[in-house]
Structure 1
């Protein structure tokens, strides 16, 4: 994927400037909402880079989930801290289950021990 090449920071800057430009010309977003949009963009770029590098994809997915939840809350999602925690815990569980399928143990599983015979 050559979209990002070696310039992910340039793309993030472009997103930040575009959001500021849109806000300057009528898009009704606050400064905190702009910050959250930029955080989501950073999480998306981090996920894309992790996928391209085949490294730490699970962590990038969780970062993206956190950023998207922050974006939703920033734009009015009315969830309690407990509800947010449960959603992020579920996302963590899904990522952990996926990670488990991607990892190979460095040593084979040991055989079940033989039952002891009566002496």
Structure 2
């Protein structure tokens, strides 16, 4: 699939290189922060691909939330594992509720009743 006329992997590689160059030439970030920034970029690209492909947007959003939380923790967010779990659970539930409105059953609700007529 093409995205902005380039392969998504090429855009991610370019972004990763820009982050590494910035760190090499003055941006004071650790290797862990660089990895987290690249993970968030990859998750954002996953959302963009899901939007373009009209497929799997919910999973991409949950993945983005997970990587964004990892980045925030890498940058110094001091949350307990319980708080992290609650936030990610809330994101998953909200996305699941939204997904429910986007999915159509392949068979109408009344079809199951008519498939097996009463004896």
Fold shared per TM-score above 0.5: yes
What TM-score do you get using the length of structure 2 for normalisation? 0.87
**Rg larger in structure:** 1
C-alpha separation in 2, matches of 1:102 and 1:49: 18
Specify the alignment match of 2:104 in structure 1: 104
Question: After TM superposition, where is structure 1 displaced by more than 6 Å over at least 4 residues in a row?
Answer: none
Q: Look up the match of 1:79.
A: 79
In the comparison of the two structures, how many residue pairs are matched?
111
Residue aligning to 1:68: 68
Take 1:3 and 1:11, find their aligned partners in 2: how far apart are those partners? 9
Write the deviation string for residues 86-115 of structure 1: whole angstroms up to 9, x where unpaired. 00000001100100000111222249x9xx
- The alpha-carbon deviation at position 48 of structure 1 amounts to 0.2
Q: How does 1:1-119 map to 2 (within 5 A)?
A: 3-110=3-110
CA contact (8 A) 1:4 1:11 kept: no
TM-aligned CA deviation for residue 78 of structure 1: 0.3
Question: 1:62 and 1:68 mapped to 2: Cα distance?
Answer: 10
Corresponding residue of 2:116:
none
Alpha-carbon distance in structure 2 between the residues aligned to 1:57 and 1:11: 19
Q: Relative to total residues, which structure has the larger helix share, 1 or 2?
A: 2
Indicate the SS of the match to 2:106: coil
Please state how far the C-alpha of 1:3 moved relative to its aligned partner.
4.5
User: Contact 1:50 / 1:60 at 8 angstroms: preserved in 2?
Assistant: yes
C-alpha separation in 1, matches of 2:76 and 2:4:
31
**TM-score if structure 1 supplies the norm length?**
0.87
